[in-house]
Structure 1
C-alpha cells in the first residue's frame, strides 16, 4: 500500500512551502472555484462524504481539491499520469488534515496503481477521474465498493469515451457525469487550454520557434482544433490529419490543409497528436519524416505515437535535451520525442498544464457536479450522464460576474415565444 507523499519525500517542509506558493497563486486567478469554495464552506454540501480522485496533481487541481475539502469532504488523491504530478503541490495538499495525497512524479506502473489502490482504501463515496483509471480500478479490483459509491465525474475526452464503451457493454455500475462533454469544459478547456498549453510546452521544451514551421495536428476534435488554431495564430503552416470525414471537412473549411498522416509526415516539422486513440503516428510516417522532426502528444495516454516501433527502428536513443528523447535512425535521421510521448502540456519537465483561468472553469464544473451527485444522486442510474445544463450555466454566470460582464435577459414575451410551437411565420 502506498504511503502519503509526505512520508516518501525529502525536506517536506521546503516542498510544502513551494507547493503552497503555487496553489495560492492559482487560487488568486480562479474566481469561480473561489466563489464555490465560499459557498461550500458555508453550506457544507459534501459533509460526511469521502472523495477519491485520480487527477493531474498540480496547482489548479489542488485548488479544486481544497474547495472540496472545505465543503466537508475527506479527500484522497493521486495522479492520473506518472509524469504530471508536481511533488511540492502534492506535499502541500497532504498537509491539509482533510486531504491525503499519494501522488508522486516519475513512478513506475506498480507504484502508480498502488497509489490508486491506496486512494480506494479510503472507501470513497464519490470518484473524480481524469482518464477513468480510478473508476475502472473500482470495477475490476474493488467491486465491493460499488454499492457505497454515490457517483462520479470524468474530466477528459478519452475517459468519457472509455466510460461510454463501458456503459454500452452494461459494465458501468454507478452513475458518472461526463464533465468533458459540457459546453463550459469542451469549448474552453479543450480548445483554448489544450491549444495554448501544448504549444507553449513544445516551445519551452525544445527552445524552438513555432513560427515558420509546418505543424501537423493529428485529429480535429475540440483539442485538435485548438492546437491547429493557435499554431496558425503563431504563424505556422498547419496540416490536419483525420479519420472522420465530417471533422476532416470542418478542418478543410477552416482553411487548413488536410491529408493522411503518411503524406503529412514528409512535410511536418512538429507533430502534435490529439485523438485519444492509439497508433496515430506509426512506422510508415516515421520512415517519411524529415531529420530533426519533433513528435509530441496532446491526447491522453502514451499510445498515440508508436514508440515501441520507433525504438525498434532506431540504432541509438539518447537524451537530446531535458524532456526530449532523440531516436537516431540507420539513415542518419534523428526524430525527437517530447515527454516520453505523454501529455506534452503536463508531462514535459517545464510544463505547467492548462492556463489557470481555463482550469477554473473546468474544475468549477467538477465541483458542482460532485455537489449534484451528493444532493441528487438517487435521480441518476448507473451509466454515463450529461452534466445538467443549469449547472453549466451556473458556472458561466459566476465567471461573467467575476469578469464584470453583464448580459441581457429574456423578457416574458420572448421566453413564451421561444417555448411555444403555436407562433407561425
Structure 2
C-alpha cells in the first residue's frame, strides 16, 4: 500500500515520539504482545480515519502486530504530527495519507484513498470514513465486518443513518464505553483543552472568568480543570439535569447571552453548531478568547464572526486570530481572539490527550476490532446498527489498567454472588 506524507525524512524523529508515547501506554502494549503471539487479525484490512499522533501510531502498531493490513488518514487537518506520519509510513508498514494543514480537497482525497483499500473494518473519529463508504455506488466492500466510532459527533451521524434505515453494518460505540468516557472524555479532554489554550496564548487562568458551553461528560472535565487552575467558572447548558448538576457542583449557571457579557475565555464543547454567534460576539468584552473543544469547527459561528469584525482581522500569534469589532457611538473598538481557527483546540493548539489517557481508548479500539473479526468466524457476524462495547471488554481494559498501576482489588465470594443475584 502506498503512502502520502509531508516529509519522509522526519521518520527518525517520529519514531522517537512514538516510542515515548509507548512507554506511557502499558495497557495497549500488553494487548500488542498478545496480538503478536496469536495474530487474531491475520489478513484483515483495517482503515482508520483518526488523529495521526504518536498515541494513534501505537494503536496502528498493535493492529499490525495482530496481522492486519492498515491504512490511516487524518480525522482533522490540524491534528497530524508529520514526523509520526513519516515514521509509520517508513518503518511500520502502514499506508499513511496525512499531512498537517492539508486543505479540504486533500482531506477528501485521503479519505477516498482509504476507501480504495476495500477495508473490512473501519475505525472512525467523526464517521467521515464510514459515511463515505455508505455513499459509494458499489456499496460496502465485500466481506465488510463493521466499524468503530470514537466521538459523540460521529455517533450522532451514524444513529441518524440508522434511523433512516441506511446503516448497513454494525458499529461499536467506543465513545460510550465506560473506560472511554471516564478517561478520554473526562480526564483527557479536560486537561488537554486547557493545555491547548495555554500553549496558544500563555494566559494566566487564575482569577479569570471562564465560560464552559456544554456540561456533558467532557464539559464537566474542562470545568473541573479550569476551576483547579484558579478560574471562576460559568456553565451554560440546555439540559436541566446537567444544569442542576453544575449548580450543585458549585458552578454559576446562566444563559449563554448573559455569560457572554461576563466571560473572558469561552470554551464550546457541545457538538452543536452556532453555539456562539452574532449576539454573543456583540456582547463580549474587549480581549475575549474563543476556543472550541468540540469535534467539528461549527460551534463558534465563523461566518458570523467574520461579519461582525468590520474592523478586520489579523494573526497576532501563530494560533490566534484577532477580530476587531469597530467602534460604535461612545464605545471603543473591541478585539475578539479566536484560537486555532475554531478547530478542536486540544489537538490543533496542543498535543491532544496524554498518552496514558489514549492508552485506555486505543486498548478498547484494539479489542473491539478483534471482537468484530471473531464475531464473523463461522457465523454471520454482528447485526447492523450502533451497538455498545461489550461489558467484558470494558472490564478487561479496566483490569489491565489496574494491573499496570500495581493496584489489586477484592473479589466477591461465592456466597456474596449468590446473595446479590438471587431474587430472595
TM-score range, shorter chain: over 0.9
Counterpart CA distance in 2 for 1:142 and 1:61 is 31
Residue-pair matches, total: 415
Counterpart CA distance in 2 for 1:233 and 1:3 is 46
Give the alignment partner of residue 257 of structure 1, picking from 252, 268, 290. 252
After the TM superposition, which segments of 4 or more aligned residues of structure 1 sit over 2 Å from their partners?
141-148
2:208 alignment counterpart: 213
Q: Provide closer, same or farther for how the CA distance between residues 168 and 159 of structure 1 changes in structure 2, counting only shifts above 3 A.
A: same
2:176 alignment counterpart: 181
Counterpart CA distance in 2 for 1:111 and 1:141 is 19
2:330 alignment counterpart: none
Post-superposition shift, 1:96? Answer: 3.5
1:312-327 superposed matches below 5 A: 312-314=307-309, 315-327=311-323
Counterpart CA distance in 1 for 2:92 and 2:26 is 24
Q: TM-score, normalised by structure 1?
A: 0.96
Post-superposition shift, 1:379? Answer: 4.1
Give the alignment partner of residue 288 of structure 2, picking from 293, 297, 311. 293
CA contact (8 A) 2:69 2:94 kept: yes
Counterpart CA distance in 1 for 2:164 and 2:182 is 29
Root-mean-square deviation (CA), in Å? 1.2
Q: Secondary structure at the match of 1:290?
A: coil
Q: Secondary structure at the match of 1:336?
A: strand
Counterpart CA distance in 2 for 1:112 and 1:289 is 34
Counterpart CA distance in 2 for 1:3 and 1:147 is 21
1:190 alignment counterpart: 185
What are structure 1's unaligned runs of at least 5 residues?
none
1:90 alignment counterpart: 85
Counterpart CA distance in 2 for 1:173 and 1:115 is 23
**2:100 aligned with 1:105:** yes
Q: Secondary structure at the match of 1:128?
A: strand
Counterpart CA distance in 1 for 2:298 and 2:256 is 16
Q: Secondary structure at the match of 1:384?
A: strand
Give the alignment partner of residue 114 of structure 1, picking from 83, 90, 109. 109
Post-superposition shift, 1:148? Answer: 2.3
Spell out, residue by residue over 1:283-329, the C-alpha distance to the aligned partner (whole angstroms, 9 max, x if none). Answer: 11001001000000001100000011101111211101010010011
1:16-415 superposed matches below 5 A: 16-96=11-91, 98-141=93-136, 143-314=138-309, 315-331=311-327, 332-348=333-349, 351-377=350-376, 378-415=380-417
Q: Secondary structure at the match of 2:322?
A: strand
Spell out, residue by residue over 1:75-99, the C-alpha distance to the aligned partner (whole angstroms, 9 max, x if none). Answer: 0000001111011101111113531
Post-superposition shift, 1:3? Answer: 6.1
Q: Secondary structure at the match of 1:145?
A: coil
What are structure 2's unaligned runs of at least 5 residues?
328-332
Q: Which moved more, 1:216-225 or 1:91-100?
A: 91-100
Q: Secondary structure at the match of 2:98?
A: coil
